[in-house]
Amino acid sequence: MQNISVLITGIGGQGIILASDVLADAAMRTGWDVKKTDSIGMAQRGGSVISHVRMGDVVSSPLIPTGGADVLFGMEKLEAARHCHFLKPGGQAVINSYGAPPLTVATGAKKYPEDEAILSVVRERAGKVFFIDGLKKVSKLGNTRALNVFLLGALSVLLPLTEQVWQEALEAKLPSKIIQINLQAFSLGREEVKNAGIR
Amino acid sequence: MQDIQKISAGSKHLLSGNEAIALGAYHAGMKVATAYPGTPSTEILENIARFEGVYAEWSTNEKVALEIAMGASYTGVRCLCSMKHVGLNVAADSLLSASITGVNGGLVVVSADDPGMHSSQNEQDNRHYARLAKIPVIEPYDSQSAYDFMFLAFDISEKYDTPVLLRTTTRISHSKSLVCIKGLSEVGARRASFTPNPEKYVMLPAFARKRHEVIENRILELREYAQNTPLNQVLKGTGSMGIIANGIAFQYAKEVFPDAAVLRLGMTYPLSEQLVREFADSVEKLIAIEELDPFIEEMVRGMGIEVSGKDFIPITGELSPEIVASSAKKAGLLEDVESEEPACRAELPLRPPSLCPGCPHRGLFYALGKTPRRIKKVTSAPTKPTAGGLVITGDIGCYTLGAYKPLNGLDTCACMGASIGHALGMEKAGVTDKLVAVIGDSTFMHSGLTALANAVYNQSQITIVILDNMTTAMTGHQGHPATGISAGGKKTQAVNLENAVRGIGVDEVVVLDAFDIKALREAVARATESDKLSVIIVRGECAPLRARSFACRVVDTSVCTRCNTCFKLACPAIQYKDGNVYIDPELCAGDNCGLCDQVCPVGAIGVFDEAVKE
Ligand SMILES: Cc1ncc(C[n+]2csc(CCOP(=O)(O)OP(=O)(O)O)c2C)c(N)n1
């Protein structure tokens, strides 16, 4: 098989590392080679976080080169746009419509780009973009903490991993207390992309 | 954090490089582990501290950590000492001493280098320390090798009576890949016991001269070992090109040149000339692909073997598959790669790191910025020397972020502990500015105490501010001697900061609440106009460690004059929304902070009833 590369972007506190751990674990359970690498930088909180996940028969570099990602998985829309050059031309993007203003925007020095501006940046690379209001969808479950797993569910539709391995990976990585709500969030996320509004 | 100690032999797991180092060391029989936190090394000791049957500690600094590991090694048990690259500068004296005495139980020193400076002040290549100290350096290239190499590192250390440097990098330490677990080796059962041997352990000149001969012979023997060690591997290829590579650069080389023959070096010092020469003879063109310095390349060239590398591969920064590919293309080594746009062309607002909402460091910087001397210093043109201003020398930690606008709170930052020395140097050179050194609590314990003694002894008049957030925040909240919390999370005796400072001989010592702006401003005003050496301890617990307060602040827009004073705090929670000042309730630290209501000149910020949630 051809290797598959997924780039996950967002900001600190969104559960990105957990999301990429679950994805890598699911790939391992499929019997593939897998590598992942996280860039957290200096920020404890609120800073940009990127995780590269690569899987296939043999994976060498854990870092995805520019233009090497099959899927861009963005949990914050500005960070998704910032890293879309990693996407292969014609690749797919799953982007959460949530926007967290960086300090430069909050103080009024810079403007947070409009959705259309963000999407046009992403569309320069992406063939398909799923732009999802994850927070709204997941709040139906009464707990927005499962947002990252909801979005993983959305991502899962684009990857050749079985529902079985996803479930096992979630069970392995999440505390048993919150597993039920997360499994529900995961299914909701899957539905979302299956019935999707592609933008 | 997963409990990796419970992983059973024969199973396969996704582990980070740091987890693999920790588990490999444990399975190789490590009994003592010491470290001072520092990215990207921190998780090694964090994992070991959870292992049963191993003594693990956060030491005061890297030098102390290494000396403890040396002492333990002298008793015959296996020891690991880990640190970030710049930590080895602090421990360099000890490393060179450990080289000359040699070991008893295996001693492995882990240096986690940070090419690209993801979170460091430089990107020095610590392989040079191996050559300087005449000890072997081992470099893993993924998590499996990090795990496997630990066993070999301890064996080599004992067999050749030498400390071993295990050098990892951010990309190795912080990447996860699959690891097959071997399980616990037999070594574990050793008991510590020390047999005096002054000719080995007491480095008087007469003994050290003999030991120098010993270590010169040792490196010759290791050079021979390098020829056949499983650490080094030749991977056959089809083309005419041969690549020598180490660490993560090996992975990039494989990805970019899948068909080339590769000499993968897991031990990059000392090199076996025969091994390199045989490989070079088997290929037409030899290139070296390594991150940072041309460490391997220059040794190969020194053997009289033709090799290229840094003439096309960057010497600065972290490598990546695309940097290797584009460099190779420029050098004519690769043809059909498309050139990629390096980054997104759209201009997007940046997301620089900032102090957290509720950070106890913020108030001090605000207070310093409000003193007339500071205003004078920062507003006058930098080309004109000012007299009578306020210079703030800084140190390393979360508070270094206070250097950014609008806080403008630091004028220097170099290495840990330097703030006090910098201020003393400026004072002794004769500047007419008042000097304030700002240093974190962990950094003060690490290397501020000796500098403070210097200030007392050499009759200084500077002010030292210790920002005591009761943790080592920057690296992810580790304990240090003044916290009284051990690496394993147990309560221990805490060093009392104020007593320590007084004990060294400082008379003017105050302890302030980090969130009391009035008290901070008064103390700063007093100190900056006094000619006595003084210490201000600013105490407040690190924001992410405190229980959430829901008494979020709200702006009464009918009162707010949009004077922007609150923005001078650089709090991420304070924003503009629809033309009004707005405080994001998701971010606001509420009663844990309250700085903004204290600085608002018109009283527009407060806790209003409807904002008080459960
Ligand atoms: C010699 C050395 N060791 C370790 C580090 C990594 N490091 C950077 S800042 C810091 C400690 C910060 O703690 P503290 O001074 O208490 O400040 P805080 O981050 O808590 O504000 C450490 C360990 C370093 N830069 N240099």
Per-residue model confidence as pLDDT tens digits over B490-512: 999 999 999 999 999 999 999 99
Query: What number of residues does chain A have?
Result: 199
Sign, Cα dihedral of A103, A108, A109, A115: positive
User: What pLDDT is attached to residue B614?
Assistant: 39
Q: Residue B55's beta-bridge partner residues?
A: B32
> Interior CA angle at B368 toward B363 and B371, to 5°?
130
* pLDDT (average), residues A114-137: 94
Position B12 pLDDT exceeds 60: yes
Position A45 pLDDT exceeds 90: no
Position B135 pLDDT exceeds 50: yes
Contact B351 A48 (CB under 8 A): yes
Inter-residue contact A67 to A85 (CB < 8 Å): yes
Token readout for B171 is: 């990309």
Report the side by side order of strands in the sheet with B241-246.
Answer: B233-235, B261-265, B241-246, B285-289
Distance CA B17, CA B112 (A): 10
For B434, the 3-state DSSP assignment is strand
Summarised one tens digit per residue, pLDDT across range B389-421 is: 999 999 999 999 999 989 999 999 999 999 999
3-state helix, strand, coil in chain B (%, to 5): 40, 20, 45
Q: Which of residues 50-69 of A touch B (CB under 8 A)?
A: 59-63, 65-68
User: What pLDDT is attached to residue B188?
Assistant: 63
Q: What stretches of B303-448 show up as alpha helix (H) in DSSP?
A: 321-330, 362-370, 372-379, 418-429, 441-443
Instruction: Name which of A35, A37, A104 is nearest B349 (Cβ-Cβ).
Output: A104
Across B123-137, B216-230, B321-335, least confident range: B321-335
How confident is residue B380, by pLDDT bands cut at 50, 70 and 90? confident
User: What pLDDT is attached to residue B378?
Assistant: 87
- Chain A residues whose CB is inside 8 A of the B351 CB are 11, 46-48, 78-79, 102-104
Position B44 pLDDT exceeds 80: yes
Distance CA A59, CA A68 (A): 13
Dihedral-angle region of residue B570 (phi above 0 means left; psi in -120 to 50 means alpha; beta otherwise)? left
- Locate tokens 């280098």: which residue? B113
Distance from CA of A152 to the nearest CA of B (A): 19
Distance CA A146, CA A181 (A): 7
Report whether residue B129 contacts ligand 1, using a CB cutoff of 6 Å: no
Contact A65 B320 (CB under 8 A): yes
Instruction: Name which of A45, A47, A60 is nearest B544 (Cβ-Cβ).
Output: A45
Contact A39 B118 (CB under 8 A): yes
How confident is residue B613, by pLDDT bands cut at 50, 70 and 90? very low
> Is the bond preceding residue B230 a cis peptide, omega within 30 degrees?
no
Average pLDDT of the residues of chain B: 95
Give φ, ψ of B80 to 5 degrees: -125, 135
- Rounded to 10 degrees, the C-alpha dihedral A153/A177/B548/B41 comes to -70
Cβ atoms < 10 Å from Cβ of B509: 16
Distance CA B312, CA B291 (A): 12
DSSP string, A153-165: HHHHTTSS--HHH
For B44, B64, B101, B110, B163, the CA distances from B95, given in Å and listed in that order, are: 19, 11, 10, 11, 8
Position B369 pLDDT exceeds 90: yes
How confident is residue B341, by pLDDT bands cut at 50, 70 and 90? low
- Locate tokens 């559960």: which residue? A15
Position B473 pLDDT exceeds 60: yes
- Closest A-chain CA to B257: A60
CATH superfamily of A4-195: Pyruvate-ferredoxin oxidoreductase, PFOR, domain III (3.40.920.10)
**Cα-to-centroid distance, B156 and ligand 1 (Å):** 32
Q: Residue B82's beta-bridge partner residues?
A: B35, B110
User: What pLDDT is attached to residue A198?
Assistant: 52
Position A197 pLDDT exceeds 90: no
User: What pLDDT is attached to residue B157?
Assistant: 98
Instruction: Name which of A21, A44, A83 is nearest B544 (Cβ-Cβ).
Output: A44
A172 touches chain B (CB under 8 A): no
B257 touches chain A (CB under 8 A): no
How confident is residue B609, by pLDDT bands cut at 50, 70 and 90? low
* pLDDT (average), residues A37-52: 79
- Chain A residues whose CB is inside 8 A of the B19 CB are none
- CA atoms lying within 13 Å on the CB side of residue A40: 20
* pLDDT (average), residues A19-48: 88
Contact A81 B346 (CB under 8 A): yes
Q: Which of residues 443-502 of B touch A (CB under 8 A)?
A: 473-474, 476
- Chain B residues whose CB is inside 8 A of the A61 CB are 248, 251-252, 254-255, 320-321
Inter-residue contact B261 to B282 (CB < 8 Å): yes
Position B425 pLDDT exceeds 90: yes
User: What pLDDT is attached to residue B612?
Assistant: 44
For B246, the 3-state DSSP assignment is strand
Nearest alpha carbon to residue A157 among A128, A103, A108, A193: A193
User: What pLDDT is attached to residue B338?
Assistant: 62
pTM of the model: 0.96
Single-letter amino acid code for the residue at A100: A
Position B45 pLDDT exceeds 70: yes
Distance from CA of B104 to the nearest CA of A (A): 37
B262 touches chain A (CB under 8 A): no
Inter-residue contact A66 to B342 (CB < 8 Å): yes
User: What pLDDT is attached to residue B611?
Assistant: 47
Inter-residue contact B471 to B477 (CB < 8 Å): yes
Position B387 pLDDT exceeds 90: no
Contact B354 A46 (CB under 8 A): yes
User: What pLDDT is attached to residue A42?
Assistant: 61
Token readout for B98 is: 């450990």
DSSP string, chain A: ---EEEEEEEETTS-HHHHHHHHHHHHHHTT-EEEEEEE--S-SSSSEEEEEEEEES----SSPPTT-EEEEEESSHHHHHHTGGGEEEEEEEEEE------HHHHTTSS-PPPHHHHHHHHHTTEEEEEEE-HHHHHHTTT-GGGHHHHHHHHHHTTSS--HHHHHHHHHHHS-GGGHHHHHHHHHHHHHHHHT--B-
Q: Which of residues 121-160 of A touch B (CB under 8 A)?
A: 121
- Chain B residues whose CB is inside 8 A of the A25 CB are 14
Where do the domains of chain B lie, and which CATH numbers do they carry?
A: 4-228 (3.40.50.970), 232-330 (3.40.50.920), 362-545 (3.40.50.970), 554-606 (3.30.70.20)
Q: What stretches of B178-294 show up as alpha helix (H) in DSSP?
A: 198-201, 205-228, 247-256, 273-281
Report whether residue B263 contacts ligand 1, using a CB cutoff of 6 Å: no
How confident is residue B573, by pLDDT bands cut at 50, 70 and 90? very high
- CA atoms lying within 13 Å on the CB side of residue B439: 29
Cβ atoms < 10 Å from Cβ of B552: 21
**Cα-to-centroid distance, B475 and ligand 1 (Å):** 7
For B40, the 3-state DSSP assignment is coil
- Chain A residues whose CB is inside 8 A of the B354 CB are 43, 46, 103
Q: What is the 8-class DSSP label of residue B141? A: S
Q: Which residues contact B294 (CB under 8 A, 6 or more apart)?
A: B288, B309, B310, B315
Contact A61 B342 (CB under 8 A): no
| B153 vs B388, more confident | B153
The residue among A18, A37, A86, A121 with the most chain B CBs within 10 A of its CB, best to mutate, is A37
User: What pLDDT is attached to residue B67?
Assistant: 98
Residue bearing the CA closest to ligand 1, atom 7: B38
Longest dimension (CA), chain A: 50
User: What pLDDT is attached to residue B275?
Assistant: 98
* pLDDT (average), residues B444-452: 98
User: What pLDDT is attached to residue B107?
Assistant: 98
Ligand 1 atom with the smallest distance to the CA of B90 is 1
Distance CA A58, CA A53 (A): 13
Summarised one tens digit per residue, pLDDT across range A162-194 is: 999 999 999 999 999 999 999 999 999 999 999
- Chain B residues whose CB is inside 8 A of the A65 CB are 255, 320-322, 325, 340
Residue bearing the CA closest to ligand 1, atom 3: B87
Position B475 pLDDT exceeds 70: yes
| CB contacts < 8 A (A, B) | 149
* pLDDT (average), residues B290-316: 98
User: What pLDDT is attached to residue A141?
Assistant: 87
Position A104 pLDDT exceeds 90: no
For B535, the 3-state DSSP assignment is strand
User: What pLDDT is attached to residue B399?
Assistant: 96
Contact A11 B356 (CB under 8 A): no
